[in-house]
Chains A and B, each alone.
Chain A
């Protein structure tokens, strides 16, 4: 195995970046500080953090759109500044703007030319990718007529032109409707199944939770934690949610029930796991019907709210998801 192949897909050491602030009195604001991160080959790593935590800055440093103040980065074993890894990687920027005077077919053809593909291969690849992202019927429509979601789909397609080993996606679900989100998730999962590496940034925690092998959590430009979700979260059941009909709120206040919440004409009971059996018997004895039982575990959002609790620019920025 060549030495580069044994190295992580992405590796950063002490990567730091600050931005200039102010015009008259100039200062600097640290956007990323001493980032040591490894993305293993074949994994999906979710890069999560609130707005302004340094996610996009990290990805731009990897791509070379920004120059680091200090530190180094390697992509697919090569220094991030080199050209060689770019033949084997794809990148989707946040809120991509693709040339609106071009059709998506023309844009993909242009991207194919940058990889040096012959015309027949470019045409074939454009057809495949437009079908994959559901834009085959808009292949020859100028992108100025596209909605934000359609541009995002075209952006995903351009990131896949070279069938990359590594996908770097900055907020890939941004601007997508539910169908588009499902499509983007399917593409990420399919890439993973094919052995590809995916690094994607998101502030939508459910996306990270459903897709990722590992999650890296960023706050204020610093890496807070990185690891499998199971390590980050307490995966044991916190309590059981029991959905009940035909019971009054007073009748539902049984010994193992910690909380009763009315949902329309039903009740949702928060029940301690050990007392589930006794509670169900109690509900049925009081004339109620159990409609559903669901174990509740800690979510990434719970973890994040706990970690970010009280920090400036932290919790408040997590509006979506």
Chain B
């Protein structure tokens, strides 16, 4: 366990020293603050617009961080061979893989926390109050980001960092349009009828993590909904990480 924590701590250090991380977080905060301008253009809608834009920025830039840093974490290690000396130490491949996931999960947690603080401060400055209900949308966003990281690590265990990024973005996008995927035969009549339902079953439904509109409108979110979202996310993360781990443990490092 201490080795896993050591890998996670080093991964966190690695990611916080990535310049791309700061650029993305800065972008997200700027986008949140831009809600202030847009809010002034619409009558009595400023608070909702700030929430909408703030949550959307958190999801979009969080996904970009998860994809680009997540794919780099494993595939860069393999391509640059920096894992060679580490795997000669008493460190198993599983500990290295899961430690990297834990490190990036913590990095994303810190990023989401920074973006949440930025959103709350913007709301305090405009509406005079920070809505704690926003957390009901932010927690599912974070769980969705963890699932994106799990996919990024799975793909980067199997292929190059570029292809891993393409596949991960593909899953993250397709997973947000699963209803369209299910009815694929209506959109693309030439496609086999079984393909849509098969893809629907194989893809995680990222729309399940999207409570942004509901929270922005002030609709309450029952605790049971959040629990089910957490169970759904953890089940998917477990499956995807398990597949990634199996690929990472069995592959040759030439």
Contacts and interface: CB of A to CB of B under 8 A. Distances in A.
B82 A114 contact: no
Interface stretch (B89-97, B116-124, B167-175): B89-97
B44 interface: no
Contact of B252 (A67, A93, A158, A168): A67
Interface stretch (A57-65, A237-245, A265-273): A57-65
Contact of A92 (B6, B85, B252): B85
Interface string B148-173: 00000000000000000000000000
Contacts of A319: none
Contacts of B129: none
A155 interface: yes
B252 A101 contact: no
Given A97-B80, A97-B81, A114 B252 contact: no
Interface residues of B, number: 24
A114 B253 contact: no
A92 B167 CA distance: 34
Contact of B87 (A64, A99, A155): A64
Nearest to B92: A83
Given A65-B252, A66-B253, A114-B6, A99 B90 contact: no
B84 A65 contact: yes
The secondary-structure label for the interface of chain B is: helix
Nearest to A89: B88
Interface string A48-83: 000000000000100111110000000000000001
A interface bracket (residues with beta carbon within 8 Å of B): 20 to 34
A284 B85 CA distance: 60
Given A63-B87, A113-B3, A114-B91, A99 B252 contact: no
A96 B84 contact: yes
A90 interface: yes
The secondary-structure label for the interface of chain A is: mixed
Interface string B90-116: 111000000000000000000000000
Most buried by A among B17, B80, B84, B86: B84
B186 to A, nearest CB: 37
18 contacts: A60-B84, A60-B254, A63-B84, A64-B88, A65-B87, A66-B252, A67-B252, A83-B90, A86-B88, A89-B88, A97-B81, A97-B82, A102-B10, A102-B13, A110-B10, A111-B85, A113-B3, A113-B6
Interface of B: 2-3, 6, 9-10, 13-14, 17, 80-82, 84-92, 250, 252-254
Interface of A: 19, 60, 63-67, 83, 86-87, 89-93, 95-99, 101-102, 106, 110-111, 113-116, 155, 158-159, 168
Given A99-B82, A168-B88, 13 more contacts: A65-B84, A83-B92, A86-B90, A91-B84, A93-B81, A97-B81, A98-B82, A99-B14, A101-B14, A110-B6, A113-B2, A114-B6, A115-B90
